[in-house]
């Protein structure tokens, strides 16, 4: 059985893999939760987070398999990393000439079915896969394929977070004046991530214990929502890290501001959107669609979590600018703190203070607004807290 050929970018791929510092680390609940969920959703007895090293594949997390690594020569995942943009699916390994004589097929664990979603780094390198395995020939449904791909993105987000945290820790060691601030930041990030991940693990325990079929969909929806909270926090952290490293880039393309508002609102928990009044007029701006959504999401969730019960989102054009205003009737920010809330790791007194909040949402939002040629400001008037985002209108 010939082993998989090496990718053309193998040296770069291995160098980036080393930068994550993931190999041979201990088991972690966050990764195990994703692997268990992949096994459940895909109805597969074996699920793995497999990292393809120079001469082995090592399993960061595993369900249904006792070994912690295998030779790379027999690794299905060594083939899967050649297709970074798509799943590799082997319906029946016994009839596939690449794998029919593979000892993992002819002997324990007797693999017949394999589906692997590559773990693709920001640089485009496939570091390994999130894969599911069965001992019977089969296929995945379209929903299961999409779920496996989505969970692989979550794994990659956790790996990126690990690397970002390691980079921040290195900077903390190098800059003595920032020691206390970084220590507080790391503790707070851990706290904020632990909350939704604890919820995910708790709901997975419910699945493991068994829930009625009619409740399964609701449990999976809740898991997805909690995982999204982690993803959004990671997104803010990555923007912060890239800004510090002067590697943050934003696109400048026409963007429908009202459509971005609708997309963000639609993605929120329905219980959070009940008190939101949305008034929009068609307004196109020049900016980066993903970053515009990130700002809107930060402003709206900030109002939902820390503001009053009534929230209003307003989009309107004004000359060469488009304005998006998020207002709520909660306690305002104290005058002395109104600029501090736009400083990283700062919290405001009054209604906006929440224990153990990372404090990156507003600074990141202002940074992104300015990178797109706009601004973000706060004011308190008529008993309302208002965050006003302005972006240059698209006149093309």
Q: What DSSP letter does each residue of 52-115 carry, written as one string?
A: E-SSEEEEEEEES---SEEEGGG-THHHHTT-TTS-EEES-GGG-TTTTT-HHHHSTT---EEE
What are the tens digits of pLDDT across the range 200-235?
667 677 676 776 777 777 767 667 666 666 666 677
Q: At which residue do the structure tokens 């501090």 appear?
A: 340
Is residue 179 pLDDT above 60, yes or no? no
Q: What is the mean pLDDT of residues 184-197?
A: 59
Beta bridge partners of 119: 128
pLDDT of residue 43: 95
Report the percent of the chain where pLDDT is more than 90.
53
Question: What is the rounded distance in angstroms from the CA atom of residue 393 to the CA atom of residue 391?
Answer: 6
Domain 10-241 carries which CATH code?
3.30.450.40
Contacts of 17 (CB under 8 A, 6+ apart): 23, 51, 52, 53, 125, 127
pLDDT at residue 359, rounded to an integer: 61
Q: Is 346 helix (H, G, I), strand (E, B) or coil?
A: coil
The strand pair at 311-318 and 276-280 is best described as parallel
Q: Other CB atoms closer than 10 Å to residue 163's CB: what's the count?
A: 18
CB 123 within 8 A of CB 20: no
Question: Could you tell me which residues are beta bridge partners of residue 294?
Answer: none
In this prediction, residue 356 carries a pLDDT of 36
Instruction: Indicate where the chain has its CATH 3.30.565.10 domain(s).
Output: 253-392
Higher per-residue pLDDT: 215 or 153 = 153
pLDDT higher than 60, residue 186: no
- At 35 the pLDDT is 96
Q: Supply the pLDDT for residue 147.
A: 94
Can you give the pLDDT at residue 357? 45
Tell me what pLDDT residue 118 has. 96
Q: Give the separation between CA 343 and CA 336, rounded to whole angstroms.
A: 13
pLDDT at 48 over 50: yes
pLDDT of residue 354: 39
Q: What is the DSSP letter of 337?
A: G
Average pLDDT, the chain: 85
pLDDT tens sequence across 270-329: 777 777 899 988 899 999 998 999 899 889 988 888 888 889 999 998 889 999 999 999
Confidence of residue 355 (pLDDT cuts 50, 70, 90): very low
pLDDT tier at 171, thresholds 50, 70, 90: confident
Higher per-residue pLDDT: 116 or 308: 116
* Predicted confidence (pLDDT) at residue 388 exceeds the cutoff of 70: yes
Ranges of CATH 3.30.450.40 domains, the chain: 10-241
More confident residue, 24 or 232: 24
Long-range contacts of 258-261 (CB under 8 A, 24+ apart): 258/282, 258/283, 258/315, 260/289, 260/292, 260/293, 260/296, 261/296, 261/313, 261/315, 261/324
pLDDT at 197 over 60: yes
119 pLDDT higher than 50: yes
pLDDT tier for residue 38 given thresholds of 50, 70 and 90: very high
pLDDT, position 181: 54
Residue 190 pLDDT level (bands cut at 50, 70, 90): low
* Mean pLDDT of the 176-192 span: 56
The pLDDT of residue 37 is above 60? yes
- Domain 253-392 in CATH 3.40.50.11540? The answer is no
Cα pseudo-dihedral 93, 98, 99, 101, rounded to 10: 130
Of 36-40, 49-53, 159-163, 302-306, minimum mean pLDDT range? 302-306
pLDDT for the residue 130: 97
Give the span between the Cα atoms of 364 and 117, in whole angstroms.
31
DSSP symbol at 136: S
Structure tokens at 196: 């939704």
Question: What DSSP letter does each residue of 223-247 carry, written as one string?
Answer: HHHHHHHHHHHHHHHHHHHHHHTT-
User: Mean pLDDT, to the nearest integer, of 166-192?
Assistant: 63
């Amino acid at each position: 059985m010939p082993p998989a050929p090496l990718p053309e970018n193998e040296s770069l791929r291995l160098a980036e893999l080393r930068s994550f510092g993931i190999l041979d680390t201990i088991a972690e609940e966050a990764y195990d939760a994703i692997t268990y969920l992949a096994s459940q959703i895909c109805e597969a007895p074996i699920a793995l987070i497999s990292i393809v090293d120079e001469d082995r594949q090592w399993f960061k997390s595993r369900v249904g398999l006792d070994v912690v690594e295998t030779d790379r020569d027999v690794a299905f995942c060594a083939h899967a990393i050649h297709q970074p943009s798509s799943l590799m699916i082997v319906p029946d390994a016994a009839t596939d000439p690449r794998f029919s004589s593979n000892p993992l097929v002819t002997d324990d664990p007797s693999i017949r079915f394999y589906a692997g979603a590559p773990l693709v780094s920001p640089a485009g390198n496939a570091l390994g896969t999130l894969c599911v395995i069965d001992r019977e020939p089969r296929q995945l449904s379209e929903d299961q394929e999409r779920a496996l791909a989505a969970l692989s993105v979550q794994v990659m987000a956790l790996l990126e977070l690990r690397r970002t945290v390691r980079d921040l820790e290195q900077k903390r060691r190098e800059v003595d004046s920032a020691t206390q601030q970084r220590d507080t930041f790391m503790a707070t990030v851990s706290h904020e991530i632990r909350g939704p991940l604890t919820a995910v693990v708790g709901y997975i325990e419910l699945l493991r214990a068994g829930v009625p079929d009619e409740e399964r969909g609701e449990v999976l929806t809740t898991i997805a929502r909690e995982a999204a909270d982690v993803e959004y926090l990671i997104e803010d952290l990555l923007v912060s890290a890239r800004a510090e490293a002067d590697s943050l880039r934003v696109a400048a393309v026409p963007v429908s501001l009202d459509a971005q508002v609708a997309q963000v609102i639609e993605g929120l928990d329905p219980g959070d959107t009940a008190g939101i009044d949305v008034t929009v007029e068609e307004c196109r701006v020049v900016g980066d669609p993903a970053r515009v959504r990130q700002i809107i999401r930060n402003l709206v969730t900030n109002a939902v979590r820390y503001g009053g019960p009534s929230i209003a989102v307003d989009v309107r054009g004004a000359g060469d600018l488009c304005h998006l205003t998020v207002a709520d009737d909660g306690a305002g920010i104290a005058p002395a703190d109104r600029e501090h809330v736009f400083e990283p790791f700062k919290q405001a007194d009054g209604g906006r203070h929440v224990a153990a909040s990372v404090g990156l949402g507003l600074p990141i939002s202002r940074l992104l607004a300015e990178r797109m040629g706009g601004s973000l400001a706060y004011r308190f008037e008529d008993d309302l807290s208002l965050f006003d985002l302005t972006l240059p209108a698209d006149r093309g």
